[in-house]
Amino acid sequence: MDLENRKNGKRLVFSEDSFQRIIQILDEFLNRSQARLAIFADLNGYPVVYRGEADTMDISSLTALAAGDFAATAEMANLISEESHFRFLYHEGVSRCSYLCSVGNEYFILIVFEKKVALGVIRVLAHYAVEKILQLIQTLKKQSEETKKFLDFEFRDILTQRLDESIRAR
């Protein structure tokens, strides 16, 4: 995000159509790669779209840690005189692996897959998915999110009331 947009609170706004298109791209990726999970997320740690075995995994924590992973290794990249952050991060486990690839400067895809799936397959298919999402992102406009549409006064009142109830019930 460039500084002017950040200052004005502007960010990419995904329409329902664009959400559906990303869902389609991730589903296609999962079908062809046999990976278990794919999360399209922003580098602030927010998941945008996730597909696959999402019910069995803690998506929010995974995304927050993956964003942190990018951030930490960006400093490593800096120290070895690489101008930007690393574009791909790969973690190999005993049975499962994760592959992170950046999508432009603000987003990334986190992929979880079985070790028996060849990394090369994941890399090639992830590359196609990234290209497709980048094309889509270029058509979207940056605008101030209309939070007031989402959070009216009644919503705000109920929210604080609900938080109070949760705290009292502890």
Partner 1 sequence: MHIDWLRQEIIFKIIYYGPGLGGKTTNLEYIHAHLDPKLRSKLISLKTRDERTLYFDFLELSIGRIKGKKPRFHLYTIPGQQYYHMSRKIVLRGADAIVFVVDSQKARRVENLAALMDLETKLIQQQKTLAELPWVLQYNKRDLTDIESVAALQGKLNFLSVPHYEAVASQGVGVFETLRGVVQLLVQKV
Residues that bind partner 1 (CB under 8 A): 3, 6-7, 14-16, 19, 42-46, 48-49, 58, 60-61, 64-65, 68, 71-72, 74-75, 145, 147, 150-151, 154-156, 158-160, 162-164, 166-167, 169-170
Q: What's the min distance (Å) between Cβ of 84 and partner 1?
A: 15
Q: Which is nearer to partner 1, 34 or 78 (CB)?
A: 78
Q: Which is nearer to partner 1, 8 or 34 (CB)?
A: 8
Which among 94, 91, 132, 85 is positioned nearest to 112, based on CA atoms?
91
Q: Which is nearer to partner 1, 95 or 147 (CB)?
A: 147
Q: Which is nearer to partner 1, 14 or 90 (CB)?
A: 14
Residue reference for tokens 């799936």: 117
Q: What's the min distance (Å) between Cβ of 157 and partner 1?
A: 9
- Burial of residue 130 (CB within 10 Å: 0-12, 13-18, 19+) is buried
Cα–Cα distance measured from residue 42 to residue 109, given in angstroms and rounded to the nearest whole number: 9
Q: What's the min distance (Å) between Cβ of 104 and partner 1?
A: 16
φ and ψ at residue 94, rounded to 5 degrees:
-75, -45
DSSP label at residue 57:
S
Strand partners, 114: 96
